[in-house]
Amino acid sequence: MKLLFLACLVTVLSLLTRPVLGLEAVRRSEVIYGRKFGTALTLDVLQPAETNGYGVVWIVSGGFYSDHASINPSYCAELLERGYTIFAVVHGSQPRFSVLEIAEDIHRSIRWIRHNAADYGLRADRLGVTGASAGGHLSLTLGTQGGEGDPTAKDPVNRESSRVQSVACFFPPTDFENWSRPGDNQVGIGKVGRAFYGGFGPRSDTVESRVEYGPLISPIQFVSKLTAPTLILHGEADGLVPIYQAEIFEKKCQEKGAVCKVVRLPGKDHGWPGIEKDMAQFSDWFDVTLRGISKP
């Protein structure tokens, strides 16, 4: 009986922990970082054999929909090759959950990762975050609104901080009230509000509630001198999230004394073939802002 149990355990572990991309790295699948109404919230851990001691959180999200099947390790191969441990985070999705409710999951994931960093041989005080589109928005949410934990919380995970120390993301929404120009409000209406970013919740059903809700879901409203150093890559031909979103976020950071760099990509739309190659720029950014390695 004991031998049978051990055989089953080995089989399970082999399914949950497996090689990644032919690299000397392993993937631990569907690690539980929290629960939401009885449903497990999970992340995958992608860890190279030789880690550099730093972790990067990858927010897996498009249109505020998140799915374990969307985790493609090739997307972050450059980070793995440089020794970063990747935490691919899956969150509760719209339309069931609103943007603010989804943000709660993301904060929880950072607290869990920080609480367990030592188990992966990582520095708990130096975490980066990345994502694209909605994942970029949630990355900026952490970069602008990460907060201290509750020292009196019963759950030790909730005593941890959700602050991140660096952000690098693709084409993120930053201000839903001023989408392509000042006054272009996309909170719960229009192409973005109803079709692609549908998870705004019932609070955006009236004009009055949209006025209240818009600032709460716009990272630009929370920029301060404490905002994590941020790199944004954005296509100039983006037909869904206009590059104006990156431009006004960069300007707000400059006004507040925060570090933000926007790289404009001529002719690029909302995603492009070979986008994973641009992760090299993110890797350089994390090398500088997390590890303190100066670049030429």
Helices first, then strands: H and E counts in the chain: 8, 9
CA dist 183 and 176 (Å) reads 9
Distances in Å between the alpha carbon of 185 and those of 70, 172, 191, 245?
30, 16, 11, 12
| Domain contains 231 | yes
Cβ–Cβ under 8 Å, residues 98 and 199 = yes
Report how many domains make up the chain: 1
The pair of three-digit structure tokens given for residue 242, joined into one six-digit string: 């206009």
Cβ–Cβ under 8 Å, residues 205 and 265 = no
40: Cβ–Cβ under 8 A, 6 or more apart, which residues? 30, 32, 34
CA dist 296 and 182 (Å) reads 38
pLDDT tens by residue, 193-206: 554 444 445 444 56
Residue the block writes with tokens 């079709």: 195
Of residues 5 and 151, the one with the higher pLDDT is 151
Strand partners, 264: 234
pLDDT for 11 equals 35
Q: Which domain holds residue 275?
A: 21-183+219-289
What count of other Cβ atoms lies within 10 Å of the Cβ of residue 139?
Answer: 31
| Domain contains 168 | yes
What number of CA atoms fall less than 13 Å from residue 191's CA on the CB side?
A: 7
The pair of three-digit structure tokens given for residue 13, joined into one six-digit string: 């572990």
- DSSP 8-state assignment for residue 269: B
| Domain contains 71 | yes
Give the angle subtended at the CA of 140 by the CAs of 136 and 144, to the nearest 5°.
175
pLDDT for 130 equals 98
The pair of three-digit structure tokens given for residue 64, joined into one six-digit string: 């505020």
pTM above 0.85, yes or no: yes
The CATH number of the domain where 127 resides is what? 3.40.50.1820
| HEC readout, 155-217 | CHHHHCCCCCCEEEEECCCCCCCCCCCCCCCCCCCHHHHHHHCCCCCHHHCCHHHHHHHHHHC
CA dist 176 and 92 (Å) reads 21
Angle of the 134-145 helix axis to the 99-115 helix axis, nearest 10: 60
pLDDT for 187 equals 85
Q: Is the pLDDT of residue 8 over 50?
A: no
pLDDT tens by residue, 98-118: 899 999 999 999 999 999 999
| Domain contains 1 | no
| Domain contains 193 | no
| Domain contains 157 | yes
Average pLDDT over residues 168-189: 92
| Domain contains 141 | yes
CA dist 44 and 144 (Å) reads 24
Average pLDDT over residues 137-149: 97
| Domain contains 196 | no
CA dist 145 and 220 (Å) reads 10
CA dist 83 and 106 (Å) reads 23
Q: Whose CA is closest to 259, among 221, 222, 227, 213?
A: 227
pLDDT classification of 16: cutoffs 50, 70, 90: very low
Average pLDDT, the chain: 89
Distances in Å between the alpha carbon of 168 and those of 53, 114, 142, 207?
18, 19, 12, 34
